[in-house]
Structure 1
Amino acid sequence: MRRLLCTSLIAGVLLGSSGQALAASPPAYRQEVVVAGSPFQGVHGLVVADSGHLLAGNLLGQSVHSIDLSSGAVSTLVGPPRGGADDLTVGPDGSLYWTGFFSGQLMRRSPKGETRVIARDLPGLNSLAFRRDGRLYVTQLGRGDALWEVDPRGEKKPRQILAGPGFLNGFEFGPDDRLYGPLLLKGQVVRVDVDTGKIEVVAGGFMMPTAVNFDASREHLFVVDAVRGELVRVRVATGEKKVVAQLPTGLDNLAVGPDDRVYVSNMVDNDIRVVNPADGSVRSVVAARLSAPSGLAVAPDDADEQLYVADVYALRRVGGRDGKIAQTTRVLSTPMVFPMHVSLGPKHVVLSSAYLGSLQVLDRATGAILRTIPNANGVQGALELADGTLLVAEATTGRLVKIDTAEPAGVTVLTEGLKGPVGLVADVAGQEPGVYVTEVRSGRVTRVRLSDGAKRTVAKGLRAPEGIARHPDGGLIVAEVGRKRLVRIDPATGRSTVLASKLRIGLPESEGLPPGYLPTGVAVGRSGTIYVSSDLDSALYRFVPVP
């Protein structure tokens, strides 16, 4: 196991909620790697820039990268927050164009390195491609459903071509100047005449086709099916299909090189692989073990300290001591919806996600999804109370709400006026059960009484606190993302102590995202080991008490 020295040693928290000493002497911690990181936070759009380099979009990481195909080395072309690319392409003049799914902006970077917005107000902006005559087309998906023509220079307003085609995703223009692309909602690959809006089906029977590209002959399309994990070759003239390679589920996009090798991105596995269609062989280009680790949870009675990791594109079980990934429930191939927070109850796992706005309750023993509850208010932390009610932090509205067990679910506001609530941890030991909540906008940790929603400030003066967990001795462990450090807070006095600094946490905020969007998760095992997720590194770290 590779170990890193913690960048700062700890001074201890002196008093706990009972007013008694929490520790006889200030503890120190040793920082270690549980799961090593990746340059991406889920990789998406791809384009072959030249014979030796591949360009890749990193939506959650808000960056555009270049990959050296000979070495696999990854460099950043456009960093956060402007580089949040779902898909990308290179224009006739060599400019790089990419789509901002969350920001609703279309970006252009000239060969001189000048970056600017050329279209706005298109939420869910997803795929893009140039026609041979230099006209540029983009689609909305998820947060919209439309095909647009956009001026590559940004001097004219976008013009809508199609409304509601059925989620037209990664597409390309063919030799006949028709647009070829997949319709996610219909399981089809279609041909679109962008001048008339006419749609024709080329091939059907896919589960979830996410992108297409032509081969060198321009007679076949390569198609990736996210649910089946298949790379399929389609003869355009007849619609005949052949599976070229079987890959893991979660495929997002592809690019075809001049030698007909197919580069495929997988957002669930956060990797890029290259397929030789001549023999179906597959080789890794860039590999990873986690995608975008955010919320963390560990059962307080688990001696092995198995971590539940909300990895955005999957819910994973990771050994806190050995880093082994034992269980994975993946999005797209299951009904799971992009988990960003996770909490544990005796029988259930609760997930919440601001990505597509939902909460989910899973059976802890089997992993089966029992309930899915829509919530578009920037849902962050969520807890299950003893009676099965869900307590949910809405970062956009500033509320804590209770969601009952009925179908359809009823919603009751417990309290409001919070400034970007993100992390939640229960406090049920006293006579007045409550919950501690981090407020990323106000820099506070607030206790909210469950009986009536009364609020009490526990600590203030923090900068962007996100993840929060309860230490076995009663202290609160908080990821203070704005200062890139881990702090410990005495819930009785509010006194805070820095545990570690200069942490690799804290992607910058981006337009179109709720407060604390990709949260830094914190969990504490029964041994007192503190676990922290890194959004910058897509890694998982632990802080082990030094005897």
Structure 2
Amino acid sequence: MYRFPIQTLIACMLLGCQPPAAAPQATPQTPPEGPSRAYRKEVVVAGSPFQGVHGLALDGHGHLLASNLLGQSVHSVDLHSGAVSTLVGPPLGGADDVTLGPDGSIYWTGFFSGRLMRRTPDGKTHVLATDLPGLNSLAFRRDGRLYITQLGRGVDALSEVDPDGNKPPRQVLANPGFLNGFEFGTDDRLYGPILLKGQIVRLNVDTGAMEVVAQGFAMPTAVNFDARRENLYVVDAARGELVRVRAATGEKKVVASLPTGLDNLTVGPDDQVYVSNMVDNDIRVVNPADGSIRPLVEARLTVPSGLAVAPEDPDERLYVADVYALRRVGGRDGKITDTTRVLSTRMNFPMQVSLGAKHVVLSSAYLGSVQVQDRASGEILRTIPNTNGVQGALELADGTLLVAEAQTGKLVLIDTAEPAKTTVLTEGLEGPVGLVADTEAKVPGVYVTEVRSGRVTRVRLSDGFKHTVASDLQAPEGIARHPDGGLIVAEVGRKQLVRIDPATGRTTVLASGLPIGLPESEGLPPGYVPTGVAVGRSGTIYLSSDIESALYRFVPAP
């Protein structure tokens, strides 16, 4: 994947409620009961086997290994049918890159967990090294020595590691400039892209001497040799190009043009090039002889998370924070009409989304920021850094942003005219994730879900006073207002969709057995990949599925 320093941002969640004297007592969740109104579950956008596909490697037996970072799994893909199976599932399989060792073992890097992993041919999984934040790419030299890179999360380094895990890692080079997907040549030199400089370099890992092979790339993310080991194939994520580089001279030629968001590649013995695209969540095969491209694994969504729908929109078109893109999806027909992609634009890996009168507000714990986008033009107007695990974010009537910080447990107000100026509205929340406004009430406030405490809390905007609306939930994340005034919440821990009466706290189960709730992983903030909920003016409820990378709707029965 594209490995800029990953920071965690905190989504804006600010809530309001009644004064202490008039506030009702906190009402525990009543035992779930059958829905007062039946809903019909329908698929809006069908799912895919990945949550953003990254590193690739051929196993020599008719299969392609594929790493799935956010899905926390390592997969095997049949080269003929495209069928995908899971070799290592969550949480151990959180792989950014994957390769094969000399004995047939599978090695992969845990970007968030900081663990280097190995699956031996007998199917056993081992932890080889820990405490390697930003663990990214890896490759073996011909003599069996294994090298890894760390990108982001405060580290930029190349190190040698023991393939058996008996010795601690040894740093070879510090601050190379974000050395990404690399491979060794027949000269035992490391060939790889330097992201920050747009270069392909040749590196002597014994001396640290580095020379430029080719340059002028926008965002080179990985290289691989062809079958004859004479040419390098390079993927440029920002331009969507597969480029062939003659290793001896640096001569470049664009072999194929693909969508932006290319992440990694591997080359078969027949010189067919397998390319992963994390934005489109797919794998394509390029024939460099004629530039033809065919799909191997296809998808329509990548990691659908936060959802929003304009209450005045009769067509109920959804804004989907798809982590690697912001997409517009027809709630009724599932048609994707507009996509703003990361890497090739200023958008920062959106994970939560909300709508104001003129703006779209996006937050990203992935890249640690809150962004304000113009609804009409799609232009990113402001980017505000926040490294506190941002989750829900709202724009208030005066333009102030309300952000939920999952790591600090705070709701903070951000003055967009002076973004460095923040005010804590309230604190002491336990993993705030979802936000929904209640600003038209006599006492304006916001509702927030707390994934750690299992509460839905109302926070008064005037002074930050907190009132528990419902408790005893399990990992509530997405939240939305129904036209009838009820709160619709994704209760991820119980894999169900519930309706909460904000006046009494009474909870009704609307749907259960839902494919939501990837397991949490080390190094990530609470509710990292949030399950999104939105409600259209018709009363139809929309739900994102992180497990299936799908989008569902629940239509009220007549």
Q: Specify the TM-score bucket, using the shorter chain as the normaliser.
A: over 0.9
TM-score, reference length from structure 2: 0.93
1:8 maps to what in 2? Answer: none
1:442-500 per-position Cα deviation (integer Å, ceiling 9, x unaligned)? 00000000111100000000000000000011000000000000000000000000000
For 2:59, what is the secondary structure of its paired residue? strand
Cα offset for 1:155? 1.1
Q: Kindly indicate whether residue 422 of structure 2 is the aligned counterpart of residue 411 of structure 1.
A: yes
Cα offset for 1:367? 0.5
Q: Kindly indicate whether residue 332 of structure 2 is the aligned counterpart of residue 321 of structure 1.
A: yes
Q: Kindly indicate whether residue 478 of structure 2 is the aligned counterpart of residue 478 of structure 1.
A: no
1:58 to 51, 54, 68: 68
1:113-136 per-position Cα deviation (integer Å, ceiling 9, x unaligned)? 111211111111110000111111
Which AA in structure 2 matches 1:336?
M
Which AA in structure 1 matches 2:501?
D
Cα offset for 1:408? 4.3
2:38 maps to what in 1? Answer: 28
1:458 maps to what in 2? Answer: 469
Which AA in structure 2 matches 1:107?
M
Cα offset for 1:324? 0.3
Question: Which stretch has the larger CA shift, 474-483 or 424-433?
Answer: 424-433
- Within 1, Cα distance between the matches of 2:204 and 2:478? 49
Cα offset for 1:432? 1.3
Q: Kindly indicate whether residue 151 of structure 2 is the aligned counterpart of residue 138 of structure 1.
A: no
Which AA in structure 1 matches 2:483?
P
Which AA in structure 1 matches 2:160?
E
- Within 2, Cα distance between the matches of 1:446 and 1:408? 26
2:212 to 201, 204, 216: 201
Which AA in structure 1 matches 2:436?
V
1:28-75 per-position Cα deviation (integer Å, ceiling 9, x unaligned)? 100000000000000000001124100000000000000011111000
2:502 maps to what in 1? Answer: 491
Paired residues, what number?
Answer: 525
- Within 2, Cα distance between the matches of 1:118 and 1:292? 29
2:512 to 497, 501, 511: 501
* 8 Å contact from structure 1 (residues 392, 400) kept in 2: yes
- Within 2, Cα distance between the matches of 1:90 and 1:241? 28
1:216 to 221, 227, 246: 227
- Within 1, Cα distance between the matches of 2:467 and 2:126? 44
Q: Kindly indicate whether residue 350 of structure 2 is the aligned counterpart of residue 371 of structure 1.
A: no
* 8 Å contact from structure 1 (residues 169, 182) kept in 2: yes
1:392 maps to what in 2? Answer: 403
- Within 1, Cα distance between the matches of 2:142 and 2:413? 54
1:102 maps to what in 2? Answer: 112
- Within 2, Cα distance between the matches of 1:524 and 1:222? 46
- Within 1, Cα distance between the matches of 2:168 and 2:426? 43
- Within 2, Cα distance between the matches of 1:386 and 1:252? 40
- Within 2, Cα distance between the matches of 1:50 and 1:30? 46
Matches within 5 A, 1:427-446: 427-446=438-457
- Within 1, Cα distance between the matches of 2:290 and 2:426? 61
For 2:245, what is the secondary structure of its paired residue? strand
Cα offset for 1:142? 2.0
2:203 maps to what in 1? Answer: 192
For 1:211, what is the secondary structure of its paired residue? strand
1:7 maps to what in 2? Answer: none
Structure 1 alignment gaps of length 5 or more: 1-16, 19-24
For 2:524, what is the secondary structure of its paired residue? coil
1:140-186 per-position Cα deviation (integer Å, ceiling 9, x unaligned)? 11222110111111111111111111110000000000000001110
Q: Kindly indicate whether residue 185 of structure 2 is the aligned counterpart of residue 174 of structure 1.
A: yes
- Within 2, Cα distance between the matches of 1:175 and 1:118? 27
- Within 2, Cα distance between the matches of 1:142 and 1:112? 33
- Within 1, Cα distance between the matches of 2:461 and 2:441? 12
* 8 Å contact from structure 1 (residues 299, 305) kept in 2: yes
Which AA in structure 1 matches 2:363?
S
For 2:232, what is the secondary structure of its paired residue? strand
1:284 maps to what in 2? Answer: 295
Which AA in structure 2 matches 1:345?
G
1:227 to 230, 238, 242: 238
Cα offset for 1:429? 2.1
For 1:70, what is the secondary structure of its paired residue? coil
- Within 1, Cα distance between the matches of 2:207 and 2:225? 23
Higher relative contact order (CA 8 A, sep 6+): 2
For 2:493, what is the secondary structure of its paired residue? helix
* 8 Å contact from structure 1 (residues 438, 444) kept in 2: yes
Cα offset for 1:428? 1.2
1:309-353 per-position Cα deviation (integer Å, ceiling 9, x unaligned)? 000000000000000000000000001000000000000000001
2:7 maps to what in 1? Answer: none
For 1:185, what is the secondary structure of its paired residue? helix
* 8 Å contact from structure 1 (residues 51, 258) kept in 2: no
1:163 maps to what in 2? Answer: 174
For 2:196, what is the secondary structure of its paired residue? coil
Which AA in structure 2 matches 1:328?
T
Question: Which stretch has the larger CA shift, 186-195 or 116-125?
Answer: 116-125
Cα offset for 1:26? 2.4
Matches within 5 A, 1:346-361: 346-361=357-372
Which AA in structure 1 matches 2:478?
G
Q: Kindly indicate whether residue 113 of structure 2 is the aligned counterpart of residue 93 of structure 1.
A: no
Cα offset for 1:411? 1.1
For 1:67, what is the secondary structure of its paired residue? strand
2:521 to 510, 513, 516: 510
For 2:197, what is the secondary structure of its paired residue? coil
Cα offset for 1:384? 0.5
1:392-450 per-position Cα deviation (integer Å, ceiling 9, x unaligned)? 00011111011112244311111111000000000012221100000000000000001
Identity %: 82
1:207-236 per-position Cα deviation (integer Å, ceiling 9, x unaligned)? 000000000111100000001100000001
Which AA in structure 2 matches 1:44?
H
2:52 maps to what in 1? Answer: 42
For 1:482, what is the secondary structure of its paired residue? helix
Which AA in structure 1 matches 2:137?
S
2:284 maps to what in 1? Answer: 273
For 1:318, what is the secondary structure of its paired residue? strand
1:182-210 per-position Cα deviation (integer Å, ceiling 9, x unaligned)? 01110000011100111110000000000
Which AA in structure 1 matches 2:102?
P
Q: Which runs of 4+ in 1 moved over 6 A?
A: none
1:260 to 271, 277, 281: 271
For 1:253, what is the secondary structure of its paired residue? strand
* 8 Å contact from structure 1 (residues 357, 376) kept in 2: yes
Which AA in structure 2 matches 1:334?
T
